[in-house]
Amino acid sequence: MIEKFIFQIATLLFAILLPSIGLAQQQKTAGSKAPKIVNIVNFIRDIEPREAHVTKDVLYQTVVKQIELMNKYHLGGTFLLQYDALIDTRYQELLKTLPHGEFEIGAWWELPQQLIEKAGIKWRGKYSWDWHSDIGFSVGYTPQEREKIIDAYFAEFKRVFGYYPKSVASWVIDGHSLAYMYDKYKIVASANCKDQVETDGFTLWGGYWNQAYYPSRVNAYMPAQNAGKQLPVPVFRMLGSDPVRQYADGRSVTTLEPVYSHAGGNEKWINWFLQSFSSDPALGFNYTQAGQENSFTWQNMSKGLEIQMPIIAKLKEQGDVRVETMSQSGEWFKKTYKVTPATSFTVTKDLGESDAQTIWYNSRFYRVNFLWEKGSMMIRDIHFFNESIPDKYMKEVTTINQSFFYTLPVVDGYNWGKTEKTAGLKLMSSVNGIDKPVVGGKATFENSGKNTVKVSWASDAGDFIVALKENTLTITCTNQVNGNWFLDLNVADAAKTPLKSVGNNHIDYQFDGHNYQLKAAKGSFEKPENGALYRIRPTGQHIVLKMSDQ
């Protein structure tokens, strides 16, 4: 009887505890999944001198409509104020009604006339807001002037809202300004523009692709390698770039911005992008920024936003994405990572009939992009990061409507190729003395630990495994079928590259006065006769590249 009673009690307890055990296991599984973070960021200008019909009322009503739509779908977000909007009482009253915790008010770091004159500096612009790099952005002012401008803005923001802004974003921002904002005002998050070449006068190329990073104290665009030299302010990459198409033309705008009918304003593209963003494998975490500046007006952005917001809301409800303010994401990043993490953004299934697949892998040492398309495999991009290289504007100013932020190019498919033909390291094989591209099927992606992504790809030359780690890149052929395989770097005929010389186990580069090397721990480099810039051959079916300028 006693044994029977004990058995009944045990059975009852098991029945009671089983659901909670199952729930704990579900929570553990959900918690182990890489977070997919969405920041809805709308930034606000008070005037738009480029278009006569874009009046102050049109700009204001655009923000009203944005808030209405976000409230309709119970989505919070971040509104960033340019100084001219900060001092407009209509925006003050409107934004003060937003519930704290769901919405955040921060700073948009374009510099209009009122702010420059408030800082005691002579205005040089043609309009009270002038969008040129040397006038409307921090890179057009001396470091001492930047500090005065920052003090003037932050003092006014605190007068209006009672606290200092935690988030500051801009198309471009210099390292001196960002460090000053952190050291004096303790900002917790920043953001800059996606990678692009000369669009609107801004070139940012070769940086941490998408996601977020800790910048070097002397270069807001360059990820730091060590905690001692980093600025502990995560910098998020804006606009939600198309992982497949945006890179192929660095001057294009193929992003989540709702005003572009081929991308963020296109229902098919939106569904594809958000599905890939939320469902495809991601190492560490995945990030995208939705929203739009009010200068584009509600008439132009409403269609795209009205498609995007319910999709984001549904993904949030399902637990597939987290919708946060910029400062919430910044605080999470700082609690989670002591140094810049390794992350990835993958696309397993491209839009429409395209068979393209891609992975962008970033770490504190480098970034790399692989593209599988029409049966072939190519490395489109490799850039090294070096925390000791200052940005061009740490001490100097730009005097033209251009600003330039770079890292160290090792493979630059866009700048070394043509619009119709991206350059890159292509996987090749030699069969009976004839060189031809290796042809294969679909690639599969698997995360391993905190820092590694493994890619498997079956081909007519054998089964390949790519291992992307924090400071190494390995390509292995596990069962060679026929011929010898290798990587060839082909570039456009007139391409200007930083390559200086090709050695047996290293390649020498020089870019913008800095010398660096690509080194092979396994494999060798050579200059082939077929016109390729260089070739990488395996050693014992392995190529292992050291991915660090250290």
Exposed e or buried b per residue across 104-119, where buried means at least 16 C-beta atoms within 10 angstroms of its C-beta: bbbbbbbbbbbbbebb
Structural domain boundaries in the chain? 1-29, 30-340, 357-546
Residue 480's nearest CA partner among 493, 463, 494, 492 is: 463
What would the pLDDT profile of 220-243 be if each residue is shown by its tens digit?
999 999 999 999 999 999 999 999
- Could you tell me the two tokens for 244? 């497949």
Structure tokens at 430: 């030699």
> Tens digit of pLDDT for each residue in 489-531?
999 988 999 999 999 999 999 999 999 999 999 999 999 988 8
* Type of residue numbered 364: R
Cβ–Cβ < 8 Å for 297, 304? no
> What is 30-340's CATH topology?
TIM Barrel (3.20.20)
* The pLDDT value given to residue 9: 41
CA atoms within a 13 Å half-sphere pointing along the CA-CB vector of 95: 26
Determine contact, residues 386/493, Cβ cutoff 8 Å.
Answer: no
Instruction: Mark the ranges of the chain whose per-residue pLDDT is less than 70.
Output: 1-32, 482
In DSSP notation, 125-150 reads -SSSS--SHHHHSGGGS-HHHHHHHH
C-alpha span between 200 and 504 (Å, rounded): 42
CB-based contacts of 210, cutoff 8 Å, min separation 6: 194, 237, 241, 243, 286, 287, 288, 345, 360, 362
495 with 417: CB under 8 angstroms? yes
Task: Identify the bridge partners of residue 445 per DSSP, sorted by sequence position.
Answer: 455
Q: Which helix (H) or strand (E) holds 17?
A: helix 2-32
CB atoms within 10 A of CB 328: 21
Terminal CA-to-CA distance of the chain, rounded, Å? 73
> Which DSSP state fits 43?
E
User: What is the per-residue pLDDT for 431?
Assistant: 85
Are 495 and 423 a contacting pair, CB within 8 Å? yes
Q: For residue range 377-399, what is the model confidence (pLDDT) as tens digits?
A: 999 999 999 999 999 998 899 99
Q: Are 457 and 372 in contact (CB under 8 A)?
A: yes
> What token pair was written down for 30?
């959900």
What counts of helices (H) and strands (E) characterise the chain? 11, 32
